[in-house]
A and B are shown apart, each in its own frame.
Chain A
Amino acid sequence: MNKVLEIDNFTLSFKIKDKEVKAVNDISLYVEKGEVVGLVGESGCGKSLTALSIVNLQPSNSKIVDGQIEINGEDVLSYSREMWNDKRGKDFSIIFQEPMSALDPLVKIGNQIKESIVAHADESINSVDLKSRIMDMLRAVELRNPELVYDSYPHQLSGGMRQRVLIALSLINNPCLLVADEPTTALDVTVQSQILKILKQMNEELSLSVLFISHDLGVVKNFCERIYVMYAGLIVESGISSDLIENPIHPYTKGLIDSIPSIKKRGKTLSTIKGNVPTLERRSGMGCPFASRCYLAKPVCYVKKLEEQRVGSRSLFCHLINLEEELERIKSDAKN
């Protein structure tokens, strides 16, 4: 196995009113070379914090309490500030949810991309080579008029075009890992699928590994090979996409899948998961965080520490469901 990204028992906390609250709680995940992995959950469950932590852009009032993040086998949490500046944008990149404000309004697109190349170049590159490299990248993200985009200011481009520019910006130095933090959430649906297509192309052509973060399981299911489902700072279930989508086991995953609209459910009321993700202050830190919204919940759920159950590529955090028995049951159901 060749893991590009490996997060082990990572915990990130905030201090709120003298109380330490864990926003990301003991999560472990990995992305292999050339793999597209999804990290899914509702708003406020810690996905974006996880994404930001990978590139060391987590909020300055947060604190990494425990765990390890390795990229290409290097322990990145021990990096100095200079090391981070050297690696970010070169070995790994991130793209964000909001393309509208993510570019400097006063600098032309071409020059903004140029900066990223120059910042990581060992020797000076002449301006003709620089430009041709940027133009190639702008073409690769399927911008229709790259020459025009090169000389444009951000406000002259649409949201979809800006997100393409941001993808170009993040991939210009051929990183091996891209963290995509809800890159399509702010875009309309047709643009959304184009952006996904480009990311998929980049993944195949450059063997780029992608950690794709989304609140929308419908988007993730066709795009990612494996999926992690996150709830209130915890990964509750993970597995191969098709397997996880067809046979969800954790009540939370089931809830998420039931709330994806589809043609089959036409005319029926779309089911939702009752309640909201508890805010940081209201998390007890004990037991299963989903217990208060779970239809199966028993008293034990609120107090006992969760343990991981693992069968093959499937993993589950739940007190009440036995993963092995459940998988057996699914298998026999399929036979009948």
Chain B
Amino acid sequence: MHYYTRKLLSTLITLFLVSVLTFSIFQLVPGDPAQMILGVDANPQQIEALRSTMDLDKNPVIRYTNWVLRAVQGDFGTSYKYQRPVAALISSSITITAQLAFLSLLLSIIIGIPVGIFIAKRDKEKKVIPLSILSQLGMAIPSFCVAILLIDIFSIKLKILPSLGYIAFSESPFGCFKSLLLPSLSIAFGGAAVIIRYLRSNIVSERREDYVRTNRSIGLSENQILYKHILRNSLIPVITIFGILVSEVLGGSIIIENVFSLPGIGKLITSSITSRDLPLIQALVLYLSIIVVITNMIVDLLYGVIDPRIRIKGDD
């Protein structure tokens, strides 16, 4: 089968499994949503009535089918807490999270790739050891610690960047960028660290490959060999990391949005969990999973573009 068709098919299957899993998990969560809405003082008749209007008394398979059929049409039900359609709630906060995630990934790449190359080029020199240690720290320190550190430096001491709130892009593009810079940097710190470490070790091991010796033997300079040959070969595994990075960035944004009080998806998730807002949680989890699954599909497709061996193998 064709490489791309196969990838698309496996993505669809994954999405189906994700929806089943998301639905099932929240069936197991203790607590009755009807009871939750009506409060502890509600009488059993009221609860029973609400349960039947919410379809809670029906068979889980039927409920799942109904949920999926409506979800496909963009209807995720109504949030218990906000009493608004879930789809509307998500679409109003998704822009912020999308901007945050995009900026975080961009910063991870902008920092990660050049620093990775820099360290790899000076692999044996002592002066890059601090950078290596820093990148190891970057992987170990959770993003909210970095956030607190950055707030302390840029908001409290230097007073150049805000520590709270969000300014919409339509209001002021620069203000929007400023309000997202610290949150994205907090996330990008870890992301860049991952890229640095992978890229460095890939470059160092690629440099020992036979084709590099061939390149030297035809008189290419070390820089030509690095940028035209080694780098491309070294980036293939880094692209795989990129898929993992996207899910990490999304996970990171849940915490970071709370630290910086950004009204994004992450903020919505925490509030929906604390209030047992089942339709909202289900929709959000599904939403995030879909993003991760689709990014991984894109990564797989990119893989085929950059590495001819995969493309052609798939064509057979």
Binding site for B on A (CB under 8 A): 55, 57, 82, 84-90, 93-94, 96, 98, 101-107, 115-116, 119-120, 153, 155-156, 166, 169-170
Instruction: Please measure, in the bound complex, the distance between the C-alpha atom of A153 and the C-alpha atom of B307, giving whole angstroms.
Output: 10
Q: Which of B33-41, B56-64, B170-178, B212-220 sits within the interface? A: B212-220
- A154 closest partner in B (C-beta): B211
A88 and B217 contact, Cβ closer than 8 Å, known pairs A105-B211, A105-B233: yes
| CB–CB B218/A170 < 8 A | yes
Chain A residues with CB under 8 A of B216 = 57, 88
Q: Which of B42-50, B111-119, B153-161, B224-232 sits within the interface? A: B224-232
Q: Which chain B residues (205-260) contact chain A, with CB distance < 8 Å?
A: 209-211, 213-221, 224, 228-229, 232-233
A98 and B217 contact, Cβ closer than 8 Å, known pairs A106-B308, A156-B312: no
Taking the nearest CB of chain A, how far is it from the CB of B72, in angstroms? 40
Chain B residues with CB under 8 A of A156 = 312
A102 and B210 contact, Cβ closer than 8 Å, known pairs A153-B308, A153-B309, A153-B312: yes
Query: Total interface residues on B, using CB and 8 Å?
Result: 22
Instruction: Please measure, in the bound complex, the distance between the C-alpha atom of A217 and the C-alpha atom of B177, giving whole angstroms.
Output: 72
How many A-B pairs have beta carbons closer than 8 Å: the answer is 79
Which of B210, B306, B307, B308 is the one whose CB lies under 8 Å from A98? B210
11 new A-B contacts, CB < 8 A, other than A57-B213, A119-B218, are A84-B219, A88-B217, A88-B219, A94-B217, A101-B211, A102-B211, A105-B307, A107-B229, A153-B312, A156-B312, A170-B217
- B307 closest partner in A (C-beta): A106
| CB–CB A106/B217 < 8 A | no
Instruction: Please measure, in the bound complex, the distance between the C-alpha atom of A298 and the C-alpha atom of B62, giving whole angstroms.
Output: 95
Can you give 16 contacting A-B residue pairs, CB < 8 Å? A57-B217, A87-B219, A89-B217, A93-B218, A94-B217, A96-B217, A101-B209, A102-B213, A106-B307, A107-B228, A115-B218, A115-B224, A119-B224, A120-B219, A155-B309, A169-B214
Q: Which chain B residues (15-41) contact chain A, with CB distance < 8 Å?
A: none
Of all A-B residue pairs in the complex, the 4 with the closest CB atoms, nearest first, are A89-B218, A89-B219, A88-B219, A101-B210
Instruction: Please measure, in the bound complex, the distance between the C-alpha atom of A90 and the C-alpha atom of B214, giving whole angstroms.
Output: 14
Chain B residues with CB under 8 A of A84 = 219
| CB–CB B221/A85 < 8 A | yes
- B209 closest partner in A (C-beta): A101
- A113 closest partner in B (C-beta): B218
Instruction: Please measure, in the bound complex, the distance between the C-alpha atom of A55 and the C-alpha atom of B312, giving whole angstroms.
Output: 36
Instruction: Please measure, in the bound complex, the distance between the C-alpha atom of A57 and the C-alpha atom of B229, giving whole angstroms.
Output: 18
Chain A residues with CB under 8 A of B214 = 96, 102-104, 166, 169
Chain B residues with CB under 8 A of A103 = 211, 214
Instruction: Please measure, in the bound complex, the distance between the C-alpha atom of A89 and the C-alpha atom of B221, giving whole angstroms.
Output: 12
Taking the nearest CB of chain A, how far is it from the CB of B9, in angstroms? 26
Chain B residues with CB under 8 A of A120 = 219
- Binary contact readout B180-224 vs A (1 if CB under 8 angstroms, 0 otherwise): 000000000000000000000000000001110111111111001
Instruction: Please measure, in the bound complex, the distance between the C-alpha atom of A170 and the C-alpha atom of B215, giving whole angstroms.
Output: 10
| CB–CB A85/B219 < 8 A | yes
Chain A residues with CB under 8 A of B213 = 57, 96, 102
Instruction: Please measure, in the bound complex, the distance between the C-alpha atom of A106 and the C-alpha atom of B230, giving whole angstroms.
Output: 10
Instruction: Please measure, in the bound complex, the distance between the C-alpha atom of A93 and the C-alpha atom of B216, giving whole angstroms.
Output: 10
- A97 closest partner in B (C-beta): B210
Residue of B211, B214, B217, B228 ringed by the most chain A CB atoms within 10 A = B217
Taking the nearest CB of chain A, how far is it from the CB of B151, in angstroms? 43
Which of A86, A89, A104, A170 is the one whose CB lies under 8 Å from B229? A104
Chain A residues with CB under 8 A of B211 = 101-105
Instruction: Please measure, in the bound complex, the distance between the C-alpha atom of A144 and the C-alpha atom of B294, giving whole angstroms.
Output: 44
Instruction: Please measure, in the bound complex, the distance between the C-alpha atom of A85 and the C-alpha atom of B306, giving whole angstroms.
Output: 28
Taking the nearest CB of chain B, how far is it from the CB of A64, in angstroms? 17
| CB–CB A119/B217 < 8 A | no
- A91 closest partner in B (C-beta): B219
Taking the nearest CB of chain A, how far is it from the CB of B206, in angstroms? 10
Instruction: Please measure, in the bound complex, the distance between the C-alpha atom of A322 and the C-alpha atom of B150, giving whole angstroms.
Output: 83
A55 and B220 contact, Cβ closer than 8 Å, known pairs A103-B211, A106-B306: no
Instruction: Please measure, in the bound complex, the distance between the C-alpha atom of A98 and the C-alpha atom of B211, giving whole angstroms.
Output: 10
- A93 closest partner in B (C-beta): B217
Taking the nearest CB of chain A, how far is it from the CB of B26, in angstroms? 45
- Binary contact readout B294-316 vs A (1 if CB under 8 angstroms, 0 otherwise): 00000000000011110010000
| CB–CB B220/A119 < 8 A | yes
Chain B residues with CB under 8 A of A55 = 217
Instruction: Please measure, in the bound complex, the distance between the C-alpha atom of A169 and the C-alpha atom of B216, giving whole angstroms.
Output: 12
- B230 closest partner in A (C-beta): A104
Chain B residues with CB under 8 A of A85 = 219-221
Chain A residues with CB under 8 A of B224 = 115, 119
Instruction: Please measure, in the bound complex, the distance between the C-alpha atom of A105 and the C-alpha atom of B210, giving whole angstroms.
Output: 11
A104 and B308 contact, Cβ closer than 8 Å, known pairs A166-B214, A169-B218: no
| CB–CB A104/B215 < 8 A | yes
Chain A residues with CB under 8 A of B306 = 106
Which of A98, A106, A116 is the one whose CB lies under 8 Å from B233? A106
Taking the nearest CB of chain A, how far is it from the CB of B56, in angstroms? 56
Chain A residues with CB under 8 A of B233 = 104-106
| CB–CB A105/B309 < 8 A | yes
Instruction: Please measure, in the bound complex, the distance between the C-alpha atom of A214 and the C-alpha atom of B308, giving whole angstroms.
Output: 34
Taking the nearest CB of chain A, how far is it from the CB of B219, in angstroms? 4
Chain A residues with CB under 8 A of B210 = 96, 98, 101-102
Instruction: Please measure, in the bound complex, the distance between the C-alpha atom of A250 and the C-alpha atom of B28, giving whole angstroms.
Output: 85
Taking the nearest CB of chain A, how far is it from the CB of B307, in angstroms? 7
Instruction: Please measure, in the bound complex, the distance between the C-alpha atom of A103 and the C-alpha atom of B308, giving whole angstroms.
Output: 14
